[in-house]
Structure 1
Amino acid sequence: MTLENGFLDFDPVQLAPTGRGPLDGLRFAVKDVYDIAGTVTGIGHPLYRQTHSPAEHTSPLVDTLLAAGAELVGKTHTDELTYSLAGQNAHYGTPPNPAVPDGIPGGSSSGSASVVAAGLVDFALGSDTGGSVRVPASYCGIYGLRPTHGLVDDRHTAHLAKSFDTLGWFARDAATMAAVGRLLLPAASAPALTGIRWLSEALDMAGAEPAEQLRALTGDGFAGLTLEQEASVGPLDAFFEAFRPAQAFEAWQYFGDWITTHNPQFGPGVRERFAAAAAITPARAA
C-alpha cells in the first residue's frame, strides 16, 4: 500500500508562526516522534496511538521554528516505533519517493523526507538513530543532517535508543538547511576546516563506481579543502556488530513493557528486530 503523500491525514496538525524571523514564509512538517501539545505522538503504530494520551508539551525545536517565522503544516509518517530504515509501514502504508517512482523512500523518517522531496514543505524534522535521516535523504535525493549526538535539544520527543538518538532535518537546498541549523544548533567557534580525508574501508564497502564518483566530486581543491591521505579505522563490521545489540537493548528498555502489555502486531522486519531485542541480556549489552 502506497500513501498519497507522507502526511498523517488522520491527525492534521497546523500551527501558525508565533514570531517573525529568518524563516518567514517557510512551511515545515515534523516526524510523528515530536510532541505537539494536545495531540498524541503515535510513533508509526496505531495501537501505540490508541494507548497513549495527548502530549502535554511541545518539542522546543518546534517552538523555536515557529518563533522564527515558520509555519507547521503537519505531522509525517514513520516506520513502526522508528525501528526500520525502509520507510514501509505495515499499518499505514509507504510514503512515495518523488525521486524514484515506485521506489521506497527510506526510513524511519520516511514521511518527512517524502514531503520535502515532493515540494509540499520547505523543510521537515526527523530523527536518526542508525540512519533514519541519512538513509531517506539519500533515497529521496535531498539534503539531510544527523547532528553530533547530544547537540540538539531532544526533550519532548520519542526515543528508540537514547544513547544513539539524534534529531535532524531535511531540505531541498543547502541555504534552507543552514538557516534551520543556525536556529537549532548551539553557537560555537570551531577550528576552520582545511582538509578532507576519505575513509578507505567505507570506499571499499561502497564499491568501485560510487568510490570513483566520490573521488571525482571531492578531488583536491573541493570547497577550498586539501585532499589528505586516506584514513583507516579497521573493519567496519566490528562497529556494526557492537552497535546492533546495544541499540536493540535500549529499544527494549524503552518499549518492552508496552509491547509485553499490549502485544502489538508488527510488520516484517520490525517484528523480528523487537523479538531479537527482547533476548539481549544486560551482560551482552554491556
Structure 2
Amino acid sequence: MATRHRYSIGIHGGAGNRPAPAANIGLIRESLRTILEQGSARLAAGATALDTVVHCTRLLEDDPLYNAGYGSVPNSAGRFELEACVMEGRTLEAGAVTYVERIRNPVELARRIMEQTPHVMLAGRGAGDFAATNGIATVSQAYFQEGWHKYGRADEHGYGTVGAVARDCAGNLAAATSTGGQKGKRPGRVGDSPLVGAGTYADNEGCAVSCTGWGEDFIRTALAAYLDFLIVREGLEAHTAARIAIEYLVAKVNGNGGFILVDRTGAIATAQSSTYLHCGWIEHGGKPTTALRSPIQIARAEG
C-alpha cells in the first residue's frame, strides 16, 4: 500500500440519537470547520500529530457546544466528573485521566501524565494533586455549570464526547478523546474515553481512532483496538475496517455510537450506529468536510 506523506486530520463532537437544538446546528458546523482549519494549519507547518490532536481537543473542550471540558454534563449528584485520553502511534505511549472535577482541560493533563510519569492513567484526587504540581489549569465546579447551561444544552441526554485523530507529515499517528461522560451517571463511573483500546487508540502500523457514544458498549467490545486489528492483521483499508467494526459493535452488544479514524496512509473513515455523529475531516491536506452523520451507518435495534 502506497504511503502518502501529506497530513490528514479528523475531529468529532459526539454521537447521539437526539438532534442538537436547531439553533446550534450552524454553530456546530462552524466550530468543527474552524477547529479543523486550525489543526490543518499546524500540521502543514510541521506540527506533530500529537501536538495537533491535543490542540484541537483542547479547543473542543473549551466550546460549550460539546460534552467535554466547559460544556460537560453533570452526574446524578449534580457534580461534573471529566475524563480524557491521548495516545501516540509511534511508541504506543498513552496518558489518561478520569474522575477529575476541577481540571479545565483534561486532555492537557492526560498528555502531561504520558510525558512526565511512568503511568498511563491517574484518577480522582491523585490526578488532581499531580495537576496542581505541574501547572495544569484548574477551575471551580461553577465553571462547568455555566458551560452546561449555554446554548440550551441543559436538557440534552449527554452525548457530545469530543476527539481528534491525525497523521502528520512524518507519517506518525495520534488520537485524543475527552468527555464529561453520561448525563446523570453514577458518581465514579468510568467510560470508554480514557481507556486505551476501548475509546481511544493510536498505532502507526494501523490507525488512530477516537470513539463516542454509550461508553460501556465500546469497553465491552474493545472497539478502538479492534479497528486497529482489522487494519494491521487483516490488511483492510480504512472504510472497510470502519464498516466491519460498527457492524461488530451492533451485532455483539447492540452498541450505540460512532467513531472517526485515520489510517497509516492518511485515509479518514467514520461510522455510526447512532442517529447522529458530528464530525469533520481534512484528508491528505485537502479541503475541510463537516457532517452531522457518517456515510457509514448501521442500524441498531431500538430499546
Short-chain TM bin: under 0.3
TM-score by length of 1: 0.26
TM-score by length of 2: 0.25
Larger CA Rg, structure 1 vs 2: 1
Q: Which has the higher contact order (CA 8 A, sep 6+)?
A: 2
Bigger strand share: 2
